[in-house]
Amino acid sequence: MRKSTKISLAFCAFAFLFMVFYLVFFDGKQVYNALKSVKVPYIFIAVLFIAAYLFLETLAVHAVTKTVHPPHKLRRTMVITLIGHYFNCITPFATGGQPMQIYYMTRYGVSLGGSVVALLSRFIVYQFVLTIYTAAVLFANFSYYTKELGGLMFLTIIGFSINFCVLFALITLAFFKKTAEKISHGAIKIAAKLRLVKEAKKKIAYIDEELEHYHKNFELVRKNPLLVFKLMILSALQLTVFFSVSFVIYRGLGLSGVSPFIIISNQAFVLMISSFVPLPGAIGAAEGSYGLFFAPIFGESITFSVFLWRVLTFYLPITAGLITTVLVSARKE
């Protein structure tokens, strides 16, 4: 295990212990009251929702991987999905997942170009669906957000804008080759002038070669609208399941009166705002934004609900991914 990975895991472990410490020593009375009202079956349902979330992602990744590499097996895609979640959770901006997924995909016989196309195509569709999803819930609940969460509208708009910019960049990369080349050439030249990059001509040639290779492979996806539609449906279902975990926690704490649509909408914005914080798992930002959006809904149980939500949506996938990574690495397939 690399030193950087160990540091990230230690950071995540420290954050978990800090949450436990805060719950016990600073919010003990409220936590005790929340524990008394916990309905255990709902917690099991929430775990099933996380399992469904991971399985839906597996199906989406598998659908596009089968397009570029037909012999690929579903069980291997599940392994790749769990490994990707693990490394996304322990790296800033969730940047570690895809490189490790590409490594294991090539290890399972998928070409390097095919692996990149499969994962990037899946990510483009996912980002597109997330942007449309958040735009729809913002429009549907605009009066609620301006009235009840007016102070958070600024964060919401920033998060939405960042997601839109990322989506625009991905679409440019996938569909507008010449534009992508001009942007990358300009970036490299600027970096060379700032002495951040050496041998700019070689870097430009390498980028051009990779873009050419990528676009040839991406044609397989672009010419398959049924696949794109399938990825959109799976992504929408995956996001809905993930966002619904908060509603299950809400009901599991014996609370009622708030519609699931409001809770799902809030959760969409928590993900959108926290996903671009440069810390492993957006630690601190995720808990903070969740607390801000859900404090009016959970009331005195907010701290305990944050803890349950993070255990289910962050620490549980980390544990499953870590175990999977260790087992697969030991097998040396």
What does 237-300 look like in DSSP terms, one character per residue? HHHHHHHHHHHHHHHHTT--SS-HHHHHHHHHHHHHHHTTSSSGGGTTHHHHHHHHHHHHHHGG
Q: How far apart are CA 243 and CA 241, in angstroms?
A: 6
How many domains, the chain?
1
Task: Quote the distance between the C-alpha of residue 158 and its chain's center.
Answer: 18
How many CA atoms lie within 13 Å of 87's alpha carbon, on the beta-carbon side? Answer: 21
Average pLDDT across the chain, whole number? 83
pTM value is: 0.84
Region 55-60 average pLDDT: 95
pLDDT value for 7: 74
Nearest Cα residue to 4 out of 274, 280, 276: 280
Contacts of 239 (CB under 8 A, 6+ apart): 129, 130, 133, 268
Output DSSP code: residue 198. Answer: S
Do 62 and 72 touch, CB atoms closer than 8 A? yes
* Residue 267 in tokens: 């959760």
Determine the residue type at 65: T
Nearest Cα residue to 85 out of 56, 112, 111, 116: 56
Q: How far apart are CA 304 and CA 20, in angstroms?
A: 10
pLDDT value for 26: 66
Q: How far apart are CA 263 and CA 38, in angstroms?
A: 18
Q: Which domain holds residue 138?
A: 3-331
Cα-based torsion angle of the residue sequence 224, 225, 226, 227 in order, rounded to the nearest 10 degrees: 60
Share of the chain above pLDDT 70, in %: 91
pLDDT digits 0-9 by tens, 258-292: 989 989 988 988 888 787 777 777 787 888 889 88
Higher pLDDT, 114 or 27: 114
